[in-house]
Amino acid sequence: MEFNAPAGENLFDKARIVGKSTPRIDGPLKTTGTAPYAYERHDVAPDAAYGWIVGSAIAKGRITSMDVEDARNAPGVIAVIAAPETKPVGTSPYNHAPLFGGREVAHYHQAIACVVAETFEQARAAAHLIRTRYDREAAEYDLAELAPQAPLADGGKALHKRGDFDAAFDAAPVKIDATYHTPDESHAMMEPHATIASWKGEELTLWTSNQMINWGKEALGQILGIAPEKIRLDSPYIGGGFGGKLFIRADAVLAALASKAAQRPVKIALQRPLIFNNTTHRPATIQRVRLGATRDGRITAVGHENWSGNITGTDGEDGTAQTPKLYAGANRMTANYTATLPLPEGNAMRAPGEAAGHLAFEVAMDELAEALAMCPVELRIKNDPGAEVPGDPSKRFSERHLTRCLKEGAERFGWSKRKAKPGQVREGRWLIGMGVAGGYRGAPIQKSAAGVRLSGDGMLIVETDMTDIGTGSYTIIAQTAAETMGLPLDRVRVELGDSRYPVSSGSGGQWGAASSTAGVYAACLVLRRAIGEKLGFDGDSADFTDGAIRANGKSFALNDAGEMSADGEMTYGDFQSDYDLGTYAGHFCEVAVDAYTGETHIRRMLSVCDAGRILNPLSARSQVIGAMVMSAGAALTEELAVDRRFGYFVNHDLAGYEVPVHADIPHQDVVFLDTLDSVISPLKAKGVGELGICGPGSAVANAVYNATGVRVREYPITLDKYL
Ligand code: MOS
């Protein structure tokens, strides 16, 4: 069914299950080790052999020889597949760099061979017997060197102007012009990319770890040259995705090829060191922000230029993404440039664009506030754009409550105690500071389908290829189905992640929660109508509560319907294109910086979020605090160090790539304004999974400045940079 006008009052406004904090259904399974991850599916493939992937030792050039004989003859080895014997495979519209290279090497740790053996240890030992010779090509790996010549992204379309930025900036009595650097970053999810592949004739099944089941099926069909209908993907439990599992990766492709060669199921987990250079990452950015304002703090000129790079020269990290949405200003210019940079493939990582963009733009706002001698909360409120989108006046915001987020946050955080002048508050050796940032992340909505089935004995089963990457999809889908069918939560069973089920939105771009629940609602409505037809009432207007149905003054039991099933899909009408759908937040942070060593501790964090109806405050909070941790990591610790001679990320393991640990993260508070958005879907809900990484790191950076008086514009803000 099509959602073709803003939702009026509906059953979710009187919800009893949706909107209530509900522990995650998969929580006990995951925390007790009883949720099987892809690599642990002993039930489906007890005879699986083990695959080990070999990555290229050079970043660019070609393989001149590869000797695999010793590996083939090693104990336990069943098959060896090696790049020289194959054409490169593994490019599709969903991924750019080849997932299993031929002789040409496009990036470091590109998969060049796979050894299959009876045991993991035998596969690993044999892989080390492969001798590969290379002809290495020199290349430029330094973004700063490549940036000045980088072309505009999107075939030249990535330049947006409104009014006359140059003239307004020149004329502005108060202005700032600052350049920021964000490094390459990695997903570093707990569960590595992993797949068990099994062939039955021409039919291929993959038990894998993937956010977007249908994309995966389509991509694999293209990569392997077989019809997607012959492929089944199953991914019921996922130990983190963050964008790194949006697309099929080498584990899936090589498990499929190796399984064919070995003539038995093969399981492959990407070794942790391969994840950093073999998969995708968030590309580094260089961002120049220029802001001009009147003396009383009205912004008149907004300029934001962004440079990044990617192996393809396309799809870099667009740090300007939030800039058209956040603050007023009649004269504007954003430009996004992408260089061709032969590092491993850059691709979506949690809030691609905005996560890096806020680290520049929301710090520039802090710099402007200081230049104006104005409170940075007040500056943001003063430049609230109202209903019209500053960068695109043809659209208006559906719901946008950034000012409320900032006001409520300032009140709760005790912002009035902040000293405007930096370096003023000291507790012994600690310099104390507070920072604020605004936050924006788009709220896209995608069509999504589901099937629902009444078992006849009181259970409702929901089936959709939606995934739960640790976000709580199982739970919000169960809540939605329970609410719509008038059943208690424990009468609903949710089955996810199997490509045999109806095609959902999948998990990406923080659209999963809003989109997949709307699809399940659509399927439930189809079922309600079918039940009504069978029992003689109007399924739309009947009251479904507690397993009973009241309609036309009569009462039925849901069980009277017997066994029934229905499929439904929610799609979206053109009316939405008049609106800009987004989520907003006010982020606050207090830090302490050791005056002698520069050691930085975060003391408190608060995020106040405007993200539509919150379907499950408990799992939504969990999403936001996780994202705040990731944003703190981006501000203070995370960086893939580029070896500029040999073109790879040096710190390719969890010891060298520093994500925050418990000791780095103190008290975190999350507040949801529960602002309903009737334009987005019948549930009036939006996602929060990416909003939480848009801005908290900027609040950290601004707090560090407030504590120390040192403005570090190169992330991560490590202590050496205070000097
Ligand atoms: Mo997200 S970066 O679309 O998983």
Q: Are residues 467 and 391 in the same domain?
A: no
The pLDDT value recorded for residue 87 is 78
Q: Are residues 568 and 600 in the same domain?
A: no
Mean pLDDT of 280-291: 98
Reduced to 3 states, what is the DSSP secondary structure of residue 169? Answer: helix
**Phi, psi angles (nearest 5°) of residue 138:** -80, 150
Which residues surround ligand 1 with Cβ inside 6 Å?
211, 241-243, 246, 348-350, 352, 508-509
Q: Are residues 165 and 198 in the same domain?
A: no
Q: Are residues 101 and 209 in the same domain?
A: yes
C-alpha 444 – ligand 1 centre gap (Å): 12
Inform me whether the pLDDT recorded for 425 exceeds 90.
Answer: yes
The pLDDT value recorded for residue 651 is 97
Inform me whether the pLDDT recorded for 610 exceeds 90.
Answer: yes
For residue 147, give the amino acid letter.
A
Inform me whether the pLDDT recorded for 84 exceeds 80.
Answer: no
Residue in the block written with tokens 């504007």? 332
Last residue of a domain, one of 270, 300, 317: 270
Q: Evaluate the omega torsion of the peptide bond into residue 228 and state whether it is cis, within 30 degrees of 0.
A: no
Check: CB of residue 572 under 8 Å from CB of residue 432: no
**DSSP strand E in 467-516: where?**
492-495
The pLDDT value recorded for residue 674 is 83
- Of 246, 446, 694, the residue with max ligand 1 atoms within 8 A of its CB, to mutate for a pocket test, comes to 246
Last residue of a domain, one of 518, 544, 578: 578
Q: How far is the C-alpha of 196 from the C-alpha of 205, rounded, in Å?
A: 8
pLDDT above 90 covers what percent of the chain?
96
The pLDDT value recorded for residue 398 is 97
Which helix (H) or strand (E) is 554 found in, with range? strand 554-557
At 428, list the tokens. 């012994």
Q: Are residues 295 and 372 in the same domain?
A: yes
Q: Are residues 308 and 409 in the same domain?
A: yes
Last residue of a domain, one of 578, 597, 630: 578
- Of 213, 469, 690, the residue with max ligand 1 atoms within 8 A of its CB, to mutate for a pocket test, comes to 690
Q: How far is the C-alpha of 656 from the C-alpha of 222, rounded, in Å?
A: 36
pLDDT in tens, 157-170: 999 999 999 999 99
CB atoms within 10 A of CB 330: 16
The pLDDT value recorded for residue 86 is 72
Q: Are residues 160 and 92 in the same domain?
A: no
Q: How far is the C-alpha of 625 from the C-alpha of 514, rounded, in Å?
A: 19
List 544's β-bridge partners, or say none: 549
Q: Are residues 15 and 48 in the same domain?
A: no
Q: How far is the C-alpha of 288 from the C-alpha of 290, rounded, in Å?
A: 7
Q: Which atom of ligand 1 is nearest to the CA of 509?
A: 3
The pLDDT value recorded for residue 627 is 98
Q: How far is the C-alpha of 226 from the C-alpha of 233, rounded, in Å?
A: 14
Check: CB of residue 219 under 8 Å from CB of residue 98: no
C-alpha 472 – ligand 1 centre gap (Å): 15
C-alpha 222 – ligand 1 centre gap (Å): 22
Residue nearest atom 4 in ligand 1 by C-alpha distance:
243
Parent domain of 612 = 146-185+282-443+581-722
The pLDDT value recorded for residue 667 is 87
In this structure, are strands 203-208 and 231-234 parallel, antiparallel, or unpaired?
Answer: parallel
* 615 within domain boundaries: yes
Confidence of residue 629 (pLDDT cuts 50, 70, 90): very high
Inform me whether the pLDDT recorded for 696 exceeds 80.
Answer: yes
Q: How far is the C-alpha of 216 from the C-alpha of 233, rounded, in Å?
A: 8
Q: How far is the C-alpha of 6 from the C-alpha of 290, rounded, in Å?
A: 38
- Of 189, 245, 317, 350, the residue with max ligand 1 atoms within 8 A of its CB, to mutate for a pocket test, comes to 350
Q: Which atom of ligand 1 is nearest to the CA of 211?
A: 4
Q: How far is the C-alpha of 659 from the C-alpha of 716, rounded, in Å?
A: 11
Mean pLDDT of 227-243: 97
C-alpha 357 – ligand 1 centre gap (Å): 16
Q: How far is the C-alpha of 563 from the C-alpha of 567, rounded, in Å?
A: 14
Q: How far is the C-alpha of 9 from the C-alpha of 170, rounded, in Å?
A: 50
C-alpha 308 – ligand 1 centre gap (Å): 18
Q: Are residues 297 and 377 in the same domain?
A: yes
- What is the domain count for the chain? 3
**Phi, psi angles (nearest 5°) of residue 455:** -80, -15
* 650 within domain boundaries: yes
At 534, list the tokens. 């069978």
Q: Which atom of ligand 1 is nearest to the CA of 241?
A: 4
Q: Which residues are catalytic?
A: 690
* 314 within domain boundaries: yes
Residue in the block written with tokens 């504590």? 707
Check: CB of residue 348 under 8 Å from CB of residue 179: no
Q: Which CATH number is 129's domain given? A: 3.30.365.10
Inform me whether the pLDDT recorded for 10 exceeds 80.
Answer: yes
Mean pLDDT of 502-531: 98
pTM as predicted: 0.97
Q: Are residues 200 and 156 in the same domain?
A: no
Inform me whether the pLDDT recorded for 503 exceeds 80.
Answer: yes
Alpha helices in 348-414 (DSSP H): 354-372, 376-382, 402-413
Check: CB of residue 209 under 8 Å from CB of residue 238: yes
Confidence of residue 419 (pLDDT cuts 50, 70, 90): very high
C-alpha 97 – ligand 1 centre gap (Å): 18
Q: Are residues 487 and 412 in the same domain?
A: no
DSSP per residue, 332-347:
EEEEEEEEE--SSPB-
Confidence of residue 479 (pLDDT cuts 50, 70, 90): very high
* 234 within domain boundaries: yes
The pLDDT value recorded for residue 689 is 95
- The DSSP output letter for 173 is S
In this structure, are strands 266-269 and 231-234 parallel, antiparallel, or unpaired?
Answer: unpaired
If you average pLDDT over every residue of the chain, what do you get?
Answer: 96
* 276 within domain boundaries: no
**CA-wise closest residue to 639 among 697, 689, 581:** 697
Inform me whether the pLDDT recorded for 89 exceeds 90.
Answer: no
Which helix (H) or strand (E) is 125 found in, with range? helix 120-127
Q: Which atom of ligand 1 is nearest to the CA of 507?
A: 4
Q: Which atom of ligand 1 is nearest to the CA of 508?
A: 3
Q: Which atom of ligand 1 is nearest to the CA of 351?
A: 2
pLDDT in tens, 642-691: 999 999 999 999 999 999 999 999 989 999 998 999 999 999 999 999 99
* 679 within domain boundaries: yes
The pLDDT value recorded for residue 531 is 97
* 275 within domain boundaries: no
At 685, list the tokens. 């809900």
Mean pLDDT of 407-435: 98
**CA-wise closest residue to 223 among 192, 195, 268, 254:** 254
* 75 within domain boundaries: yes
Mean pLDDT of 27-52: 94
Its sign, for the CA torsion 658, 662, 663, 667, is positive
Confidence of residue 95 (pLDDT cuts 50, 70, 90): confident
The pLDDT value recorded for residue 335 is 98
C-alpha 269 – ligand 1 centre gap (Å): 21
Confidence of residue 519 (pLDDT cuts 50, 70, 90): very high
Q: Are residues 317 and 384 in the same domain?
A: yes
Is the ipTM higher than 0.95? The answer is: yes
**CA-wise closest residue to 23 among 628, 622, 460:** 622
pLDDT in tens, 118-158: 999 999 999 999 999 999 999 999 999 999 999 999 999 99
* 549-565 burial: b if 16+ Cβ within 10 Å, else e: bebeeeebebeebeeee
pLDDT in tens, 572-606: 999 999 999 999 999 999 999 999 999 999 999 99
